[in-house]
Structure 1
């Protein structure tokens, strides 16, 4: 087993145990990035949303309450079971489906099958730079042309960057949780071939954590027929 695989297995076990010990650990209110993303998705005319790293579902359920059809994925079976129970309790089960997904593997969706993708602090988990690039390539694959991707990551201006257990590749571990702290050039590299709409700095939680909220759009293909220059339109 490689170092990456060992770290991935340890993180999966840690999240499973954390969700089991602290059901609904993030509460029922949506995150601020999810509130923003819902506004962006609605303005873009999106109907269906894929959430990566949905956990116990506070953001996925918020999207569903707003009327979006939601595919919520996570690698924690415990978190997703909590999400399904909450969806039944809130009457949104008909708009929410769940799926086990390790984002180191290809996304279990067809090409061009969703309007929008949301990921709150999923890309800055214990994923190598290579794995992050592969994941964003998968997001591109499953998005429809013109689709929007909103994600958040902790960055190298965060107080925890450079401290704790170092795993290399800007990944540092605190309290059992490994975080990949993003430099700005990685955000720009992930947006190559996209329209980068926004990189918004914000703070959340204790310390506080310092994050970027990134919004990028997959360009629609050009019209199959473009009149010659000077021709009447």
Structure 2
């Protein structure tokens, strides 16, 4: 996976343009209302979404691809970017909130749990989580070779897990879930193309 994303960032740069996901803007308002001061963004990419948070919060981004980190540091110098795996805690402190955009569905079950556990380990008690992921209502669900229940290699060399609402909630069963839902996401690529995905989101709070 690391080679795939590093290669794409090296070839295509800011793959999905510089406009943030509407979910990042929604998360920012949720965090602001809760009095959040610091935010962690695992799988931060080149900073497309971190910039939404770094204008008002102390923001940390974790990204495996060094090529993406170099782009991110130029695009969003206010965020502290860390080159490393989001599956392991990378901070020496805890934050008030975690925003994780379209990372959870990239892993098989064991690693999905590792990602959530790493995020919780870096989150203050009572802190907020906002995650997005592929929905089982997306047209790609069920396409290609099935690797695990709900997980398909829908393109050659590229697989994803497609969440039902119940499945997503079960992944966060150790937290206090406050909201979940779905929405249509439109991505505009650097080459001028447009891609649409049906995503789910979940907002939860780490138990005290």
The correspondence for 1:21, drawn from 11, 23, 27, is: 11
**Unaligned stretches of 5+ in structure 2?**
187-193
Task: Select 2:81's aligned residue among 79, 98, 106.
Answer: 98
Partner residue of 1:52 out of 32, 42, 55: 42
For this pair of structures, how many residues does the alignment match? 200
Correspondence 1:123 to 2:104: yes
CA apart distance, 1:64: 1.0
- How far apart, CA to CA, are the structure 2 residues paired with 1:102 and 1:180? 19
CA RMSD of aligned residues (A): 1.7
- Taking structure 1 as the reference length, what is the TM-score of the superposition? 0.80
Q: In structure 2, what is the Cα distance between the partners aligned to 1:79 and 1:31?
A: 17
Q: Which has the larger radius of gyration?
A: 1
Aligned to 1:6: none
Assess if the C-alpha contact under 8 Å between 1:129 and 1:169 holds in 2.
no
SS in structure 2 at match of 1:193:
coil
For residues 86-125 of structure 1, the C-alpha deviation after alignment (integer angstroms, 9 at most, x for no partner) is 12xxxxx2x3111122233x211246x1000011100011
Could you say which structure has the higher strand fraction? 2
Counterpart for residue 91 of structure 2: 109
SS at match of 1:178: strand
- Once the two structures are superposed, the pairs formed by residues 17-96 of structure 1 within 5 Å of their partners are 17-65=7-55, 67-87=56-76, 93=77, 95-96=78-79
Distance in 1 of aligned mates of 2:25 and 2:70: 23
1:133 Cα deviation (Å)?
1.6
Question: Are 2:135 and 2:182, in contact at CA under 8 Å, matched by a contact in 1?
Answer: no
Once the 2 structures are TM-superposed, how far is the Cα of residue 176 of structure 1 from its aligned partner?
A: 4.2
Is the 8 Å Cα contact of residues 101 and 107 (structure 1) preserved in structure 2?
no
| More divergent stretch after superposition (181-190 vs 211-220) | 181-190
Aligned match of 2:165: 184
Kept in 1, the 8 Å contact 2:97–2:127? The answer is yes
Structure 1: state its 5+ residue gaps. 1-10, 88-92, 221-233
Tell me the secondary structure at the aligned position of residue 68 of structure 2: helix
